[in-house]
Structure 1
């Protein structure tokens, strides 16, 4: 199995080298404009040898100096290893490891199963996500880590059940556990978390059972899919001047803004509705210029992941959870309905999981 995986990584490296030699040199001509960025970034198999830096926006950018999450830890295991998407900004790696320890200590949860983070150098992916490009996004499964180490094959094929009833689109109480609320709340209360994406049915269940301490619900955003995992997004980190922040989540817990999801968004589209069209691929010319340099950077030395150290620059502690950290004033204000669908690109194209994705998308 290891030999097969190593051969696959070698093939990807050779393919990536061939693409880069054509697309990123002065001899490329029109090749640069005609090569989807996802083909170039998905061919990379190692982070770049550079200081950690998130470049661009969550759905249009790249990652320099990324770190790989160790496949196994005392309180976590990395899933879907064949995808090779277990890389992130070091702050995200440290956050996930800390969250896994907190979950084991506080939430009666043996440990976490981590899903997709980013590719070795971030950038657009060939399938599954529109975001996860700058090392500040990570999926965490709502399946408790088993009491044994999973094999590589099991990590790629193990069923990860939805907690949503396919018929009603509300929570499936047979699969939902109170510990899941504790886990999501623990993540949301961390000051470096900008927002968390969950299925609207999960948001509804959190609203019903959160109790009086509800400020953290502001960061929990309803989104298509996300019925068997939740998606954590961190704020732009110190040392990443070219990271583009997302707008604030506004005020309130959003629990009074969920009707649209169940009455409109999650309903079958009308016969007259236009089918949803996948956005065209992103080309290198649409990414920040620094992303071309990231592809040219040499591979980071070593290759054996190590447990992350805390971020060198401390994140200020939050004093309230009425809103996520605001974006600079030059960005447009958040929409009036705080829990309306995220703007296009916020997480469009996310792996829908057990539930089918709608054939349309609401206006941003």
Structure 2
């Protein structure tokens, strides 16, 4: 279990890093207690996608994640979907955010909004656009916004072998189970129910080859997760997405300290 220390936002050096570190790209440590060497940025615009909240500069990732984003966007475009909206990835050297996420630290996590863009959005629009809710929390079911477009994108995202898991709100998992129960649906097991994640889904990739200090996540249970496991989540009171709160600071691997050191080359 990680040790945690509460810190003020301004004392978080990771949030102050503006450029990636040098060196071969490596995801270091865990998804929620790690950092990223040799990060690469995803351009703000590209075929089939647009980056959200560019002023926050959370558009960095391991090269395998950048390629995943570009590939998913191209596949979505081929399926006739509008531009996908890419949310938080990682910061320039990874590490913990001040608020909003405990993961996204090693360059292997990315949020994709369920909302699409039907035109090229200005920088101001992308910095201020509001998410589109997919869940009716009074009924603990998906709402009318969760349509064939969202289903198609989520299926495309989950079928990629680079994906370790995808976090979605429990009713969204339920809707996907109902949609694909009688089809070839081995990928459904990657969709993991988790509160929040009702206006976006959170993709997590496997540790990349060459990242010797990357800590893999404990494997998900076998199967598609559409039975008792899902029902246990649906039986809990529905949780509405809450406002971001300050994050505790994890104790990071020693190699992460080197990324912040002037001695690192």
TM-score (norm 1): 0.66
Cα distance in 2 between the residues matched to 1:179 and 1:229 = 13
1:188 maps to 158
1:113 maps to 85
Assess, with a 3 A threshold, how the Cα gap between structure 1 residues 45 and 299 changes in structure 2: closer, same or farther. Answer: farther
Considering fraction of residues, name the structure with more strand: 2
CA contact (8 A) 1:79 1:115 kept: yes
2:35 maps to 62
Shift of 1:144: 1.5
Structure 1 segments unaligned to the other structure (5+ residues): 1-32, 269-277, 301-364
Alignment partner of 1:139 is 2:111: yes
2:142 aligned to 171, 175, 199, which one?
Answer: 171
Give the match's secondary structure for 1:226. coil
Alignment partner of 1:158 is 2:129: yes
Give the match's secondary structure for 2:50. strand
CA contact (8 A) 2:6 2:247 kept: no
Cα distance in 2 between the residues matched to 1:55 and 1:85 = 17
Cα distance in 2 between the residues matched to 1:225 and 1:120 = 25
User: Whose Rg is larger?
Assistant: 1
Q: How many pairs were matched up?
A: 254
CA contact (8 A) 1:141 1:229 kept: yes
Give the match's secondary structure for 1:63. strand
Assess, with a 3 A threshold, how the Cα gap between structure 1 residues 297 and 204 changes in structure 2: closer, same or farther. Answer: farther
- Structure 1 stretches of 4+ with a deviation exceeding 3 A read 33-38, 297-300
RMSD: 2.3
Cα distance in 2 between the residues matched to 1:232 and 1:110 = 19
Cα distance in 2 between the residues matched to 1:132 and 1:87 = 10
Cα distance in 2 between the residues matched to 1:46 and 1:299 = 13
Alignment of 1:161-240 (within 5 A): 161-172=132-143, 174-210=144-180, 211-240=182-211
| Deviations 1:269-326 (CA, angstroms, capped at 9, x unpaired) | xxxxxxxxx897225xx210000111126999xxxxxxxxxxxxxxxxxxxxxxxxxx
Cα distance in 1 between the residues matched to 2:149 and 2:161 = 21
Cα distance in 2 between the residues matched to 1:203 and 1:34 = 33
| Deviations 1:249-287 (CA, angstroms, capped at 9, x unpaired) | 12111111222222224279xxxxxxxxx897225xx21
Shift of 1:45: 0.8
